[in-house]
Structure formats: C-alpha cells, structure tokens
Structure 1
Amino acid sequence: MHKRVRGSTLSFAIFAALMASNAVAQDATADTASAPADAQPASGKEATDLDSVIVTVERREQSLQKYAGTAQALSQDDLRGLGINNELRQMQVAVPGLSISNQEGATEVFIRGVGSSNNTELGDPGAAPHVNGAYIPRPRGLGGMFYDLERVEINKGPQGTLRGRNALAGTLNIVTKKPELGGQFSGYVQGEVGNRDQKGYETALNFPLGEYAALRFAGYHVEKNAGFKNVGLWQHLDPAGIQDDSAGRLSFLYEPDDKLSVFAMLDVGRELGTGYPGAGLFRAAQEGYTSEDIDMRDVIYRGVQGKVDNKLWGFQGTVRYDFGGVALEYNGSYRDVDYFQINAAADGNTWPGRDLRARPPGEPATWGGIDYDNFGTNYLQARSQSQTHELRLSSDDDARFRWTTGGFYFHEKQQVGFFALADKGAFYSGTEFTMPDVDGKSWAAFGDGTFDVNERLRVKGGVRYTDERKSRDGIGGNWTIGLGGDGGVFQTRLGTEGFKPTLLDRPSFDVTGLTSNADLARFLLQGVLQAGARDTMQQQLAGIVDGSRPNGTCVDRPDTGGNNVNCPANGQHSFLVLGVPSAQHGSSAFDFIDWRLGFEYDLSDRNLLYATVSTGHKAGGFNDSFDVNVIPETYKPEKLTAFEIGSKNSFEFLGRTSTFNVSGFYYDYDDQVFQDLSVIAFNPDGEATGFALVNRNVGKSELYGIEAESRLRFGGGFTLDLNALYLQTEIKEGMVADVRSQDFGNGGITSQIDLSGNDLPLSSKYTFNARLQQAIEFSRGTFDWQVLAAYRSSFFLTQYNDRDVIFLRDTAGTVDRIEDSATAGFPDEQKGFTQINAGAGFTTLDGAWRVEVWGSNLTNKDVSQKALVGSGVNTRFLNDARSYGVRVRWNF
C-alpha cells in the first residue's frame, strides 16, 4: 500500500508540474502578445541566444529547447568562467545528477545514480563517454581534452538506441572547436597562474586553406601542485594529485558546398604527475573519527613515490555527403592509451593524537609508530587500442518522416599488467594480474525515425540490435612465498628503492607444468625487471633455481620486519612453500535489443510537451578463473528501461525571453551486477575453505524523480539559471557478499547482506544549482561576473548504506560479532554540502583582450566522490581542493 501511495504522489507531482509550466508559459505568451509594441523586446537576440544552444543527442544538430528529453550543454566560456579547467570531475558542480570521480586515473561517470565502478580490463563505463560523437571505451585522460571546445553535452537517461552499448545512464560528449572557414587567419593565446603554484597556457591557431578549407591547431599545458599534504616524516615524498599535463590537437575541415563535408582530427596528450590514489579512512574510522572530523587531505606517505605517466593519441574522421533528400555519413576513430602508474603508498590519514613517529626496526605494529620503511604498493600498466566505425544513412531534416539507419562496429585490444606487492610479506608477497591479450568486439545495426502526424504532433521510435564478444588470456592470482626459519616464517623484502616489476614484459605467461620449486621460483623471479636496492627475494630464491640451495638462502636482516626468526645452521630455510598466479582464460558473448518510443506535441510555438520510453544496456562479461578446469562464470548485460514525460517552455518575463523546463522520470534497473561470493576451495571433508568475489546479476533497482530548470533574464544584464533535481532510488533485490567482513585469514569467509531497501550509491535525494550572471557594458569594453552555488544533500558512497557488519567465525555461518559500520572502519555517508564557484572578467571593446579571475570550490569543501571498501580498506577519492587564479587571453 505504501508503495502505491508513493507512486501516485509522484505521478500527481509530475502532472501538476507539467500543467503548471504550460499554464505559466501560455499565460506569459498571451500577455506578451497583447502587450503594446513598446513593451516587446527590441530584438530577438535573447530568444536567438537560447535557441542557439545546440546538442546532438539524437545524432542531428538541434536546439536544446527543441530536444524532447533532459540534457545540458556547457560552452567553453561557461567552463572557463566557473573554474572548470582541464579537470573533468569538476563538471559535476554545474550539472545536477552528475557524479564524476577519478580512481587511480580511471574516470567514473554516474548520472542519476547509474554508472559503473568496474575499472578492470573487463569493466565498462555505465555512462558512455564520447569525443565528437566517437565512443571512448577507456576514459583515462579524458580531462586532457578540455581545451578549445565548442561545448560539453551531458545527456541524461539511457541512449541505447542511438548511442549503443554502455549508454545505460546517458552520455557525455566533448565537442571540440572546428576549423573556421572563410579565408581568415585567427586564433588566441592564453596564459594563467593560480594557487598551488598553478601555471599554464592554451592556444589555438586557425589557418585558412582557401575559402572552403581550413586547419586548426590547438594546444595546452598546465602544471599544478597537489591538494593533498604529506604530514608524515618522509617529506621527500610528494603527495598525490600533482599535475603536469600537455596536449595538442590538429583539425581539418573541408566544405566546398552544402553537400560535402570532410572533417579529420589528430590529437595527442601526455599526463605526468603523482596520480590519484585517494585517502585511507579505515584506521581513523576505527579510532572513532569520520571524514568530517579530520582533514582528509592530510595523508601519511611512506615507501615508494607515487607516479603516473599516461601517453595517449587518437585520430577520427567524418565524411558526409548530401545526395538531396538523403545523406550518407561515415564516422571512424582510432584511440591509443598507454597508462602507467605507481600508487603513492600511504599509511592512511592522520587524526588528533596519532603517533607520527617512525616505528623502530624490530618493534611490532602495536608499538604505535609508523613503519615508513614499507614499500608495499600497486603498479598498473594499462594499454588500449580501440577503433570505431559507423555508417549512417539519413533523410533530410525538413522531411515529414525523418529517419536514420546504419551500422556500427567496435574493436578494442588491451594489454594490462597489475601488481599489488606486499613488502615484508610472510606467506604472501603480492597479487599479479597480467593480461597480454584482452579482446573486445561489438557490432550493431540500428534504425530510428520521427514522423510528423500534423503540424503539432510528432511520433518517434527506434530499435538497435547489438552483438558483443569479450575474451582474455593471461595470468592472475597471488604470489605465495613461505620461507621457514627457526621459530617462524621469514618475511620477504620486495619493492624497495629502484624496484621495477616486469608486468607486460614478462618472457613467459605459461604457468602450465610448473610443479617443481625451481620452476615456481624461476617464474616468480621473471616477474621482477629490476630488483630494489634492499630487496631480499632474489637472494632468497636464486639458489632454488640453479640447484645450489634447494631450500633457498636464508636472509636475516632487522629491516625485514623484526619477526624474531633465526636462520637454520645450514643457511637454508627449514621449509619452502611457493605459489604462482594461475592461468586466466575467459570469454563471453551476448546480444540484446534496445528500443525507444515517444511523442512530441507543440502546445504552441514556445511550448513543447513530450513523453518517451527508452532502454539502455551495459555490456556483460565474465569473472576470473579459479580452476583451470572450470569455465569462468559469466554475467549478462545490465538493462535499464526509462519512462519520461516533460515539457519545455519559452516565455516573456519582464519583457525578456526566459525558459522553464520540467520532466519526470521512472527507471526500472534490471539484471544489475553486484559482487557476490563463490567457493573456490574445499577441504578433504568437502567443506568450503576458500572464497572469492565474483560479479553476478543479482540486483534490481527502482529510480524516479523530477528535474526542473529555468533561465530568467532581468534588467541590468542579469541572468539567473536555476536547476533542481529530486531523485529517489531504492535497491529492490540484492542478496550479496559483504566484502567489508571478508576474512582472508579464514579462507576468505564472508557474511551475506540483503541490500533491499538501500539507496544506490552517489544518489543525492535533493540537488539544487543556482547560477547568477551579469554583463555590464562600458565605453572601453564589457565587465561580467558569475557565481555558481551547488547544493547536494547527503548520499551513500557504497551500496552498504552504513549497515552493520557481521563477522563470521566459520563456514557454518556462526556469527563471531556484529559491529556498526563506523566501529568496523566503514562509515559510508557523505554529508550534504554546498560548493561555490565564481568568476569575473573584462573584455575590451574590440574583443581582442580579456582578463579574468576564477575560483572553484572557494570554501574548500572536502567531498568524498567515491569509496573503495574491502577487508581492512576504506579508501576515499575526493573532489579537487580549492583553486583560484587569473588568466589573460589575446584573440586575433
């Protein structure tokens, strides 16, 4: 009964909002029509400006006010003025319902609570990123495209029919500035400086090639210090977040007439710095502190220096020819990403009273100090070569029946190496997943059309068939090194100064037939390209490989951890246990159909009413191999069906053109993928002794809400933009393993948790944006300023929603203890907050010069944009710290 009441209340609210918006707009139109001539706007400039905001959601250029759906477009000037500079995640402050985080170089986009956090080589984004409409499968370095832009489009709701797989939540499309035709040389040069030692430049040069062709070169460089601070004793380590980014782009456009258009673009980029590994809250939380109690940017760095080196380049081209009534268009792209990262190793955050002294060698962890001489960290090497091809045939934009049909092909090759090492490990020295051959393919056929029933009513529909295939070959699993001595197990030093893992340069990935200790030791040693200065593994294992010391060489040094173990008299280990990663062979194949239906009705020239039903899918996949004799478990594509009804309206307000748009939506989110538990080992009695996490389609969720936006123009050059979103999400099904409780010391045993009734992560119930702008004309130029205030109510960072953690004692499900999430180290809620961005500038009368100041996150709010949780892990990935600066721009 309660559920029906909520649904009927929402339906009534949507209906009332739609009717109110249309009534207001029609009344305003009527009042304007009957007003005296001198009360009318002097020109149509305001209306023209509003209608000129272009989006390409439906694969055709159209006015944002004429698009029957929810989308937002931010121009380059909008982004600059609000301090959104070469930092993709800053965009969420300007777009309600948008959440963007950067987890160790991987960009994650969520729209209205829907997205994906799977950043492995088998993962796919849940909101599809594009550059000039070309799909980007691995959005690493996407922020490096944020220069010399036309606009950035954010399309909310599934776009499966027109955009294909992985447009489950919507799409984000970066549209670059095209070369300008007309035979004139033009461009700009811009320089800027800011806090955190920021300095950078941006330039664009437009070269005419006659009247009908042109080249455009654009480039930028930015250097910026971290928003994090190293509060530990090892001050030679730079904190995470240092940027040193450069990029360049060359575009070509040829349009000899209104029939033929040829566009091509080559771009290159390089990102350097210290990476984005986040901040560890787990231990601070166990001490009773939340993220609001401490400075999340104060981190204790130790061991290895964090580093990121991302090299990327791409090429794309579009050829379009209008045959008269029918146009043929080909779009193709190629993108190459070569990403390498060393995680900035840390001992978490500090809190009041924490002992920051170094723990002396030989002292146990309970001593209270910090073991700075610990180089355990993660290494990641991720390469991707992807290509897309699309051929589209479409009718004329003025035809009564406007249709588009075509085919799409996508192919991606990846090579991925991941190594998480445990310095001073005993019986465990790390985890390696090295995949030299990851292959993904997809093809689709689609058709979409809009038919004018009459001058006011239009109906639309479309369908798309998609076939996808994935495969992977490589190795994955733990490095096991157990080296016995008198009184216990010797620890192994691995990863100290100068260490380099082999990763993709391994001489062999064949682990079949490795049975002898010599074979196992050889394979482990092949995983090290260069030993660290104080590593012991090579010395401990070398004798096993050459046979001189079958049980290895015992190395007893105080810096290995001081575990009070002595070497046997013969200098060899008293026992030896070695283990290597297992072979990984997996594949999956799925096909699915997306579709959409809807109508548009013009209540007047300024009032549009629409309703749509549309679907979207996120690609399926397969899990890791745990037994070479068992085919890895697969999971199906996720599916989302969306119902939306809305209205878009332009009207006269105080003699000026303004807008008010509102929409209501309902999402049915099915076959949702959550991590669950799988048994991978049994004892001789058949009892489960080993457990691992796998992805399974065990979830189902419901989402609904209302979104409204308005632009109001006042006298004195003032413009006020308002945008509000009410979003309700609920997980309806989802019995899964609670990774917070996983006990690796007991075979990986994990309790189960029923997520039903929980909110989806990153979904605020209320979001409100207000942006006030003013432009003032002076005799020597124009002064303008703007302030953006963005409010988000509280949201959960994971699907666990601060629920209690149940720890088990055995596989029979015996409860050992129950702890609330905070006590267990997993507080999960980000409190509501308001972020302020602002900017001001002066442009000379001839437009040649502009000076502006900008500031983002002016109140320096520390906001957790994502959490990565697991056994003993609660890592937060934060927004960018306060930044501000001044820039000078010369246009010519």
Structure 2
Amino acid sequence: MKPLSIRLAAGACSLGVMAFCVATAHAQETMGQASGETAAAAEASQESARTLGTVTVTAQRRSESLQDVPVVVTVFGADEIAAARIQQIDDIVTRTPGLSFDAFPASQPRLYIRGIGSGDRGASGDPSSAVFLDEVYLGRPSAVAFDAFDVERIEVLKGPQGTLYGRNVVGGAINVISKRPVLDSFGAGASATAGNYGRLDGAAFLNAPVAGNTGAVRVSGSYRSNDGYVENPFLGRDVDDQETLSGRLQYYAEPTDSLRMHITLDGTRDRALGTANHVLELDETDPLSNFYAQNFDPDVTYGSDPGFMERDTWGARGEVAYDFSFATVTALLSYRDLDYGFGYDFDGGNPDPTSPGFNAINISGGNEETAELSSQELRFSSLPDSPVTWVVGLYRYNQDVLRTDSLILNADVIAPIELFDAFVADAELDSHAVFGDVSLPVTDKLTVFGGLRYSRDEKTQRVFNTDSNVPLRADDLFDATASADFDDLTYRAGLEYQLTPDHMAYASVSRGFKSGGFNGEPSDAAAAVTPFDPEVAVQYEAGHKSLFLDGTLIWNNSVFYVDYTDLQTTQTNNGVRIITNAGEAHIQGYETQLQVSPATNFNLAVAYAYTDAVFDEFVEDGVDYSGNQISRSPKHKVTVSPSYTLALANGPDLTFAVDYQYTSKIFDDNNNQPPELRDATSFVDARVVLDGLGNGMSVSLWGKNLTDERTRTFQGGFLGANFGAFNPPRTYGVTLSWDY
C-alpha cells in the first residue's frame, strides 16, 4: 500500500543517512589519529566545523545552536530578512517548505504547517498553526499584523507545541523575535525603497543607552505603500494597494546582575482597497451561471465597489526576569487591542450591461471585528549553566471578540430588492494551562527530553442574524447563546544522541490539542448551540542534523507521521462556512535542508518538503471524502537559494542572490474536484546588493516574482460560479540602507 511504502522508503533514507554520518565521522577520527593530530588541534577543528551552523535559536525556550535543537526549525536571520525583503507573513510562507496559507484576504492569513491548519475565522475559533510575536500568542488571524523590520530572527517550528510555549498549538508555530535594546552602545539605521506600482517604503530605528548603560531605549518604525496591482477600468482606479504604518517602542534594563526588565509598545495601521475578485469557471448545471461574465485576466477587475481593508491594532508587553540561586523566574504580561474592517465586491463585476464585466448578479459583503487579547505567564526555568535544562509554568489567556460577517445580494433575477444577511457573534475565551519540560543528559552523548501540559478552555458565544432582512445563509432568523469547556493533557517525549561532535540524531513523539468551538455562521439555532469537537494530532518524528567537510556543508533530514483525529475542517455550502469534525486523517512526510559553502564567496541553500495529508474517515452530508487530500496541503515544496559575493576594489562587496520556490498543486476544497484547485507554481526572486560603501551605506536592486507567475490565492464557488483572486505581479525596486 502506498502510505506504507512511503514510510518505509523515508525511514530507510533516514537510517541510511545516519549510517553514513557515523561512517564518515569514524573515518575522519581514524585519519586524525593516524596523522598524529593533537587533542587541542582536534578541538579547534571541531569548533571550526561548526561555524556554518552557529545560528542561535530559542525554539526550546533557551539559546542554543540550530544544529543542537532536536526539532525541525526553519530560521530567517536579520541579514536575510533585510536582504530578501521579508516583510509580512506571506514572505515567510513562500520561503518555508511545509508551510502554506490561505490569503483571502491577506489581512486574515490562515496558516497550514505540514497539512495542519484551520479555515475557521469565527469569533470562537482558534488557529491550528499560530504566530507568536516576542513570545506573545496572536490568537486572531487579523491580529497577525507586524512588519519584519528591526527583527532579530523568525523561527518556524513544525509539529505540536505547548510544553514550552504559553498557548498550545496543534500544527506548528511561527515565532517572530524583535531586536532588543542594546545596553552599551548607540545605534541607528534607516532604509528607503522605491519601486514599480508606486512602491514607496521607509524604515528607521534608533537605539540609545540610558541610566549609565543599565538601560536602553529602542524606537523603530516603518511605512510601506504601493498604488495597487490591479486596474479597475469600471471605477477608473487601481485596487489591491497598500498603506501600512508600523511602530515599536522598547525599554530594556538590567538594574542588577540578576534582574532584567523589558517593556514594549507596538502598533500597526493598515489601509487598502480591494480584494480584486474575478469570475472564473461557471457551473453550467446551475441556471444562474448565465448571468456572469468570466474574467481570467489577473491584472483587471470590474467590481462596482473598490472594497476596503482597515486595521488598527496595538499591543503592550511587559517582562520581568530574576535569577535566583536555583532558577530564573520570569513573569510575562501582554495586552492587544484590534479594530478591523474588510469589505469586498465578491463577484468582481458590475451592473452596467455595456461593461465587459457585466454581472446581473452582484455579490458583496465583508467582516467587522473588534477584539481584546490578553495573557499572563509565570515560569521557572533552569539557569544557563545548569546541566539539566528545565522549565515549568502557569499560563492564562483571555480573548473577547465581537465579529460581524455580512453578505449582500443585489440581483433582479433573484429578488426585486437588495438582500442583506449578517451573522453577529460575540465570543469569549478563557484559557488556563500548567506546563513543564525537561532535557536530561543521561551520558555525555545521550539526552532524553519530555514535557507535559494540561490545558482547559472555557468558551461562550452568542450568535444572531436578526439584523438581516432575509436569512440568505440560514434557515431562519434566530438569537442563540451557548457555552462549553474543553480540556486535554498534551505531551512531548524523545531523545537525542550526539553521534560525533558534528552529527546528532533524534527521535520524538508529541501530542497537540486544539479546543472545540461554535460555528460563527450556523444554519439554525440548534446548530448555533452545538459545539464542534476538539482536534488532536500525535506526531512521530525521527531525524538527524549533520555537518560535513569541515563545516562547509550542513545536511539535516527528518521523517514524520501524524495521527490526526477529529480535525476541524471547513466546508462551504451556499456561501455558508460550516466547521465540522472529520473522523480520522494521517499525514506523513519527509523534509531535508542542505546548505553548502564550498568557497568563502559562494553559498547555496536547498530545502524540500514532501507532505502526504489524507483523510482516512470523513463523511459529510452523505458524501464520502475518505482518501482525499486535506485542503491547502501541497505534496511537494522546494526552495533553492544560491548567492555569490564578489569583493570589489577598495572594500565594497557585490552580492548576487536568487530565491526559487516550487509548490505542487493545492486543493482549495476537501472534495478535491475542479475547479477548486491551484496548479503547480514556480516563483523567482532575485537581488543585487552593493554593501560596504562607507559610512554604513548599501544599495540593493531587487525583484520579486520575476517570471510574473500568476496563481490563485483564493477561490470559492457560490450561486453558479467560481470566484477567485490572484497573487501580486512582478515587482522590482531599489533600496538604499544606512546602518550606524
């Protein structure tokens, strides 16, 4: 059977690689002894061999080399973030194998890590794969609003998280870590960008020590804008534009050797027009399909309403840490406020019979959401020099959300008046957890690790559609309130074995849990008070991390298998998004990361992820989806990033870099039937960077999507047609940077 053969092949590959690591290490050790290499020289050689793998991460709540972490982590450092213009969540997605997302709209991203994600944006829903900003959980899709300027690094963790992080997630996590204030030096920097489509960006930071170098203040801000990627000739204006203003103010202090304090205020303001929708395939079995004009041109839309996106969000974060003789105690508090609005012309057409975009059926709608998110965390952790590393903690998260999802139908062929339908949901989440994790060295080579977490979520939701003039998406008008509690004990356990100083193997099992909830668009009052069940994923993983050729080559591999139970899946029926539980699914895959630097001026990074995500038991409305692929989960994803640096006369460096990404086809619906699938895509970004110009100056000429690949970022069927939107076109520009 195919799944078994895949598991055997992947396992054989992993075992073969581990055997090769041992054999290579043994041969190197033998040659070193034969040549009479001294112990000191051997130690120096081993340290040199780690130079390519000394990226520091905090994926396990402590600073350690990426090559020493027994989990799969994709890391983007500060230099790569700046050079590759990684600014928003979609820039991370395109560069990370095993990571995908639904981008309708891009201001409410829904992440999928190794096939695990959630289509639920309802007021009581939770993401299956989440974003953490400086350890703070962003529990609403529309709260994922940050600019990656002045960021230290971004870590993508794959698989269940929770024994180390405050809020449990079942699929994986993206951790964004900002640059902290520096105590002992003044620093400043700025950048300015101009590009096509009216692109105009600016960013700056300032770091200043205060109080005799025991404290420091860091201020950073950015402005991003473009005039719009899609022309609307009906309105005579462009849409899918951007105007984003972000800022962050930090204060960090070390009043004593044992006490550290960190306070952060941040905010983001977004304004945009769009999204630019299109009428795509027609459902010829539906007579309503005759009332639409198809439009497959990604650069043109004919919507009668330009649409809008408005988002204002700000947050406060406070952290205090104190080192006792036995442990470090850390208190972390956060608060975030969100005010969000999104409106769109769903059909992308207009009611003018003389227009090439004439649609006799005009569909529009949108979302409005206000939310308050807060968390409190208290944890005790081992000191940095402790031979046993451990952390225990208490966590509380509260979320209040008021959300309106509206639909407007204006069509004489359906009704003589404009029809308006709105679901209003007022939901509260109160979550408590206790967690702990430990890594225990058994020998100088073998370490065992494990953790436990108990989570309890209390959810209440009131949902009503009584403000509608007709129940378009429900059977009747209703007003219903319901409450439910969900709890689970999750864990991780595993071991890592240091085969040699350059080769580490690991194996682990982890369990993730996401609580249940209530539908935000129920069909009737009974459905409104009936919760969907929690989902659980148990992941088994084995892999290795290796250095070869005196540290000039890194090769990391892993294989995994996930038992996925009661996964919460979204099916759209007549415009209503219904969350139900699929019975069983499994996800299996293989990931490899290769980085090689054969010369001081050349570097090549290659990554590949194979993900086979399949429903084992899933029957809904009499339709059996067993054996189908889980939606939005590509089987194959490849990234290739070569770079070459040429040292010029008098000091400057000229770097040429390319980023290539391939993603296989994606199903947008669990039925796996056309037209709701996205074809395989290939994207190419490139840049030329002239660095070291003097006085901290550099200049970069960059381009994104150079082949002008246009693929569907969203699509969905409704009232006789398939509607969709496309990714941005080819963009390019020049960036001037200064760093003091």
Q: Above 0.5 in TM-score?
A: yes
The answer to whether the 8 Å contact 1:675/1:695 transfers is yes
1:700 Cα deviation after fit: 1.5
1:509 aligns to what?
A: none
2:657 aligns to what?
A: 786
1:728 aligns to what?
A: 612
The answer to whether the 8 Å contact 2:137/2:167 transfers is no
Quote the Cα distance in structure 1 between the aligned partners of 2:385 and 2:652. Answer: 41
Q: Mind listing any 5+ residue stretches in structure 1 that lack a counterpart?
A: 349-355, 361-367, 483-578, 679-689, 738-751, 803-820, 822-826
The answer to whether the 8 Å contact 2:637/2:663 transfers is yes
What code does the residue aligned with 1:11 have?
Answer: G
Q: 1:304 to 1:357 in 2, by over 3 A?
A: closer
1:383 aligned onto 2:231: no
Matches within 5 A, 1:698-737: 698-737=582-621
The answer to whether the 8 Å contact 1:626/1:632 transfers is no
Quote the Cα distance in structure 2 between the aligned partners of 1:417 and 1:691. Answer: 15
2:506 aligns to what?
A: 610
Structure 1 residues 218-262: Cα deviation after superposition (integer angstroms, max 9, x where no partner):
0000111322232x5x133532x2001101110111123442211
1:249 aligns to what?
A: 248
1:644 aligns to what?
A: 541
Quote the Cα distance in structure 1 between the aligned partners of 2:572 and 2:708. Answer: 40
Matches within 5 A, 1:55-66: 55-66=57-68
Structure 1 residues 469-502: Cα deviation after superposition (integer angstroms, max 9, x where no partner):
11122422683469xxxxxxxxxxxxxxxxxxxx
The answer to whether the 8 Å contact 1:477/1:582 transfers is yes
Structure 1 residues 273-316: Cα deviation after superposition (integer angstroms, max 9, x where no partner):
1143654424399999xxxx975514432322211111110011
Matches within 5 A, 1:193-232: 193-209=194-210, 210-230=212-232, 232=233
What code does the residue aligned with 2:505 have?
Answer: L
SS at match of 1:15: helix
579, 582, 602: which one pairs with 1:695?
579
Quote the Cα distance in structure 2 between the aligned partners of 1:862 and 1:650. Answer: 38
1:557 aligns to what?
A: none
591, 606, 611: which one pairs with 2:487?
591
Quote the Cα distance in structure 1 between the aligned partners of 2:309 and 2:608. Answer: 37
1:459 aligns to what?
A: 448
Structure 1 residues 117-151: Cα deviation after superposition (integer angstroms, max 9, x where no partner):
11121222111110011101113253533211101
2:395 aligns to what?
A: 408
Structure 1 residues 370-422: Cα deviation after superposition (integer angstroms, max 9, x where no partner):
54798641132111110011100112233233221111000011122232122
Quote the Cα distance in structure 1 between the aligned partners of 2:195 and 2:711. Answer: 22
Structure 1 residues 637-665: Cα deviation after superposition (integer angstroms, max 9, x where no partner):
11110000111111225xx5321111111
670, 686, 689: which one pairs with 1:841?
689
Q: Mind listing any 5+ residue stretches in structure 2 that lack a counterpart?
A: none
2:465 aligns to what?
A: 476
The answer to whether the 8 Å contact 2:587/2:614 transfers is yes
The answer to whether the 8 Å contact 1:477/1:580 transfers is no
Quote the Cα distance in structure 1 between the aligned partners of 2:62 and 2:568. Answer: 33
What code does the residue aligned with 2:11 have?
Answer: S
1:189 aligned onto 2:59: no
Quote the Cα distance in structure 1 between the aligned partners of 2:602 and 2:423. Answer: 56
Structure 1 residues 849-892: Cα deviation after superposition (integer angstroms, max 9, x where no partner):
11111111111111234433455353334433222111111112
1:742 aligns to what?
A: none
Deviates more, 1:12-21 or 1:784-793: 12-21
Quote the Cα distance in structure 2 between the aligned partners of 1:33 and 1:414. Answer: 66
Quote the Cα distance in structure 2 between the aligned partners of 1:771 and 1:32. Answer: 34
The answer to whether the 8 Å contact 2:304/2:351 transfers is no
1:276 aligns to what?
A: 275
**Normalising by structure 1, what TM-score?**
0.76
Quote the Cα distance in structure 2 between the aligned partners of 1:286 and 1:860. Answer: 34
1:486 aligns to what?
A: none
1:715 Cα deviation after fit: 1.9
Quote the Cα distance in structure 2 between the aligned partners of 1:394 and 1:426. Answer: 66
Matches within 5 A, 1:327-346: 327-346=328-347
What code does the residue aligned with 2:121 have?
Answer: N
1:846 Cα deviation after fit: 4.8
2:428 aligns to what?
A: 439
Quote the Cα distance in structure 2 between the aligned partners of 1:374 and 1:462. Answer: 55
Quote the Cα distance in structure 2 between the aligned partners of 1:23 and 1:444. Answer: 45
1:573 aligns to what?
A: none
2:642 aligns to what?
A: 772
1:619 aligns to what?
A: 515
The answer to whether the 8 Å contact 1:272/1:308 transfers is yes
1:332 Cα deviation after fit: 1.2
Matches within 5 A, 1:126-205: 126-140=128-142, 142-163=144-165, 165=167, 167-182=169-184, 184-205=185-206
Structure 1 residues 74-124: Cα deviation after superposition (integer angstroms, max 9, x where no partner):
02321232233x332122221111113322221111111111111121222
The answer to whether the 8 Å contact 2:390/2:437 transfers is yes
Identity rate, percent: 26
1:304 aligns to what?
A: 305
Quote the Cα distance in structure 1 between the aligned partners of 2:736 and 2:31. Answer: 45
Quote the Cα distance in structure 1 between the aligned partners of 2:701 and 2:470. Answer: 57
Quote the Cα distance in structure 2 between the aligned partners of 1:675 and 1:613. Answer: 28
SS at match of 1:338: strand
Quote the Cα distance in structure 2 between the aligned partners of 1:168 and 1:869. Answer: 29
Deviates more, 1:173-182 or 1:421-430: 421-430
1:776 Cα deviation after fit: 2.7
What code does the residue aligned with 2:244 have?
Answer: D
1:799 aligns to what?
A: 670
2:81 aligns to what?
A: 79
SS at match of 2:117: coil
643, 658, 670: which one pairs with 2:553?
658
1:851 aligned onto 2:735: no
What code does the residue aligned with 2:586 have?
Answer: E
Quote the Cα distance in structure 2 between the aligned partners of 1:106 and 1:795. Answer: 19
The answer to whether the 8 Å contact 1:194/1:884 transfers is yes
Quote the Cα distance in structure 1 between the aligned partners of 2:100 and 2:542. Answer: 23
Question: What is the CA RMSD across the aligned residues, in angstroms?
Answer: 3.3
1:864 aligns to what?
A: 712
1:674 Cα deviation after fit: 3.1
2:55 aligns to what?
A: 53
1:762 aligned onto 2:632: yes
Quote the Cα distance in structure 1 between the aligned partners of 2:100 and 2:576. Answer: 29
Matches within 5 A, 1:305-320: 305-320=306-321
Deviates more, 1:600-609 or 1:372-381: 372-381
1:766 Cα deviation after fit: 2.3
SS at match of 2:12: helix
What code does the residue aligned with 1:786 have?
Answer: A
SS at match of 1:635: coil
Larger of the two Rg values belongs to structure: 1
Matches within 5 A, 1:518-533: none
